[in-house]
Chain A
Amino acid sequence: MASENGLIASGDYIKHHLQNLTYGQNPDTGVWELAHTAAEAKDMGFMAVHLDTLGVSFILGAFFLFFFYRIGQKMTADTPSGAQNFIESIIEFIDENVRGSFNGKNPMVAPLALTTFIWIVLMNTMDLVPVDWLPYLAQQIGVFFGADPHHVFFKVVPTTDPNATFGMSIGIFFLILYYSIKEKGAGGFAGELLFHPFGKMMLPFNLFLEGVNLIAKPVSLALRLFGNMYAGEMIFILIALLPFWIQWSLSLPWAIFHILIVLLQAFIFMTLVIVYMDMAHQKEH
């Protein structure tokens, strides 16, 4: 009986960790409020926001911009300081990647790649914060404001929320469409969709193939990042279910391995963004 209770408790623990802090209109009462349960959050439908995802990603993005902006204003061409060196090595790394993969001329692509890379790295890195710290802190704050501790949800890693990854990839998708039409012309872009790869006779088939190809870009971009980070977070949560004195033996190796995933996923996302931008800028096929 006790073990069954324990099982239910761990199930609740996991579910609690995977629930976002949702703000929306309660369909039953019509009141705008924070969802108290996962079911309530689900019922709020599309017109709701995940405050934790938006908040954490905003703080991280602002931190990134602030840090880079400060260093950027103090840049000198003389002997650089340590922070400047750090920033420069990142910029150089991004620039090298953009130069290597992007053949068009667009001053937006490199900053886009930089923002993408650093922001995703920071969001992913939240995974390395022990899984209970920030949710516990949020819970304490919630309780301070008079909330039921079981109803205060807090999902720390924004990239484990598909909203975050899809939000970014849809932005990229718009950019792909915009630059495809701008660089190739509406006719050129339509031609690419209709007459490629098999010529006029296979028009519907071409459209289907290219359409899937086009749609697959943002979807794969979002799902790859989300899937990797969600799985990583899940494993951290499962490790956190173990007795505390044994947790380090699994969480430490996993965290070390996760550092690789954090950087790798951000790098893949950035590289694909550059490649997609390059494809959108290619004039002839």
Chain B
Amino acid sequence: MNINLTMIGQLIMFAMFTWFCMKFIWPPIVAAMDERKKRIESGLIAAERGLSEHKEAQQKAQEMLNQSKDQAAEIIANAGRQASTMVEDAKDTASQEADRIKTSAQAEIDQEANRVRNELKDQVSDLVMQGVNSVLAKEVDAKTHKDMLGKLSQTL
């Protein structure tokens, strides 16, 4: 238990060990640990960012889905409306056409009837004239009578 040079030796050894530790041991270990810490940190941040991005994308997709649903509904409604108007239009034009055809047919019929009536009138007047001619062949001035009868037939 004598105090002697051992003390100084121990002191020098202690100083050397500490110096070596400070120079060659502590820095690389702490550097590696710090680097890992940084890596973990950035990894966590990236993960969080990915998560929020995913959420955002989901939201966007939902939005788009909703939008397209609305659009589809609109399109369907438009189409329905258009179809109904087309049907209405067709109905209208069809009835109009029918009316038109009806009136033209009527006019044609009237015209034909007139024509036939006139023809008949002419034939009757001819017949009458023939009859009268044959009856009154001698006595009657054909020309004057014809005028008379023509006037008569016109009043028919």
Contact (Cβ within 8 A) A95 B6: no
Whole-angstrom distance between the alpha carbons of A114 and B35 in the complex?
21
Within the complex, what minimum Cβ distance (angstroms) separates A124 from chain B? 15
Identify the closest chain B residue to A45 (Cβ).
B4
In the assembled complex, the Cα of A119 lies from the Cα of B25 at a distance in Å of 14
Query: Is residue B115 contacting chain A, with contact meaning CB distance below 8 A?
Result: no
Chain A minimum-CB-distance residue to B23? A111
> For the complex, is A170 an interface residue (Cβ under 8 Å from B)?
yes
Residue in contact with A168 in the complex, picked from B11, B21, B29, CB distance below 8 Å: B11
Least CB distance from A24 to B in Å reads: 7
Partner pick for B10 among A53, A65, A108, CB 8 A cutoff: A53
Instruction: Tell me the complex Cα distance, A91–B8, Å.
Output: 28
Contact of A72 among B8, B28, B36 (CB under 8 A): B28
Contacts of A112 in B (CB 8 A): 18, 21-22
Contact B5 A49, beta carbon cutoff 8 Å: yes
CB neighbours of A22 from chain B (8 A):
2, 4
Chain A residues whose CB sits within 8 angstroms of the CB of B25 once the complex forms: 65, 68-69, 72, 111, 114
From B5, B6, B30, B39, residue with most partner A Cβ within 10 Å: B6
Chain A interface size range: 35 or more
| B36, closest chain A residue (CB) | A77
Interface contact B13-A91, CB-CB below 8 Å: no
Q: Are A69 and B24 in contact (CB under 8 A)?
A: yes
- Shortest beta-carbon distance from B140 to chain A in Å: 144
The yes or no answer to A34 lying at the interface (CB within 8 A) is no
- Give Cα A116 to B13, complex, Å: 12
For A166, what are the chain B residues with a Cβ–Cβ distance below 8 Å? 3, 7, 10
Q: Are B35 and A163 in contact (CB under 8 A)?
A: no
The interface on chain B, measured as residues whose beta carbon lies within 8 A of the other chain's beta carbons, has a size of 31
Asked if A37 CB lies within 8 Å of chain B CBs, one says no
B21 touches A44 (CB 8 A): no
Task: Give the complex CA separation of A171 and B6 in angstroms.
Answer: 13
Q: A-side binding surface: helix, strand, loop or mixed?
A: helix
Q: Give the CA-CA distance A22 to B6 in the complex, in Å.
A: 9
Least CB distance from B44 to A in Å reads 15
A264 close to chain B: CB less than 8 A: no
Give chain A nearest CB distance to B33 CB in angstroms: 6
Question: In the complex, A169 Cα to B15 Cα: how many Å?
Answer: 11
* Residues of the A chain whose Cβ atoms lie less than 8 Å from the Cβ of B6: 20, 48-50, 53-54, 161, 163-164, 167
CA distance A18 to B2 in the complex (A): 11
Contact between B20 and A65 (Cβ–Cβ < 8 Å)? Answer: yes
With A65-B25, A75-B29 known as contacts, the answer to whether A50 contacts B4 (CB < 8 A) is yes
Given contacts A88-B33, A95-B30, contact A170 B24 (CB under 8 A): no
CB–CB B3/A91 < 8 A: no
Q: Nearest-CB distance from A123 to chain B (Å)? A: 10
Task: Please give the distance in Å from B145's CB to the nearest CB on chain A.
Answer: 140
Which of B1, B11, B32 interacts with A171 by CB under 8 Å? Answer: B11
Q: A24-B4, A48-B2, A49-B9 are in contact. Are A168 and B35 (CB under 8 A)?
A: no
Q: Which listed residue (A45, A57, A77) contacts B39, Cβ 8 A?
A: A77
Given contacts A61-B17, A170-B11, 9 further A-B contacts (CB under 8 A): A68-B25, A77-B35, A88-B29, A111-B25, A115-B14, A158-B10, A161-B1, A162-B3, A171-B18
Report A's interface with B, CB cutoff 8 A: 18, 20, 22, 24, 41-42, 44-50, 53-54, 57-58, 61, 64-65, 68-69, 71-73, 75-78, 87-88, 91-92, 95, 107-108, 110-112, 114-116, 119, 158, 161-164, 166-168, 170-171
Q: Which B residues lie at the A interface, using CB under 8 A?
A: 1-11, 13-15, 17-18, 20-22, 24-26, 28-33, 35-36, 39
26 contacts between A and B (CB under 8 A): A44-B4, A45-B4, A50-B6, A53-B6, A54-B10, A72-B24, A72-B28, A75-B28, A75-B29, A75-B31, A107-B26, A111-B18, A112-B22, A114-B26, A115-B21, A116-B18, A119-B14, A161-B1, A163-B7, A164-B7, A164-B10, A166-B7, A167-B6, A167-B11, A168-B14, A170-B11
- Report, nearest first, the 6 A-B pairs whose CB atoms are least far apart: A167-B10, A75-B32, A163-B6, A111-B22, A77-B35, A77-B36
